[in-house]
Structure 1
């Protein structure tokens, strides 16, 4: 069962998911701190290169299945035109209402 984006607990995470699903790169970047970092499957990646390759040029979509840790940890089905659908885990570090780091990988 999918959790509606509007029902996600943390406002920054809610904006992050909504921006991905709307294909809105500007809104996505606006919810991140200027020095935000990320990892994929345990390896740090260049955030801007990764989001373009994995999300915004390949119609990425995130359908949240569960949330925990006050909305800072998600299990979701992530879909894009490169990899199809996969079950993923997302963990967020929030700083001043913005995301300073996110870690994702297969769940």
Structure 2
């Protein structure tokens, strides 16, 4: 599924920035106090994003969406872990991502 077809504009901005490796646009897609979890454990968002996305060239290929576009299944790959099928859940507040949760699907 192409990024521009994602239903939720905040999720679309998040995925587009992640895939472009655009730190500034990625940060702008999030609320200032955004949080996240990976495989059920809360993580430091800035540290996780740097390690799992930007320094390892992370990329999401979305397979499907539901929940108004706030729940995705995607093939996620980076230089550290290779590719895996992942599930993503997003909480959106005022048009920005306030929390995202990811893990293996």
TM-score of the alignment, normalized to the shorter chain, above 0.5: yes
Whole-angstrom CA distance in 1 between matches of 2:25 and 2:43: 20
List alignment gaps of at least 5 residues for structure 1. none
Partner of 1:69: 67
Partner of 2:33: 35
List alignment gaps of at least 5 residues for structure 2. none
Partner of 1:104: 102
Partner of 1:85: 83
Once the two structures are superposed, what CA deviation does each residue of 1:14-62 show, in whole Å capped at 9, x if it has no partner? 0100001100011001010000000000000000000000000000000
TM-score, scaled to structure 2: 0.99
Cα displacement (A) at 1:93: 0.2
Whole-angstrom CA distance in 2 between matches of 1:25 and 1:90: 19
Q: What CA RMSD, in Å, does the superposition of the two structures yield over aligned residues? A: 0.3
- Extract structure 1 runs of 4+ deviating beyond 3 A: none
Aligned 1:13-32 pairs, distance under 5 A? 13-32=11-30
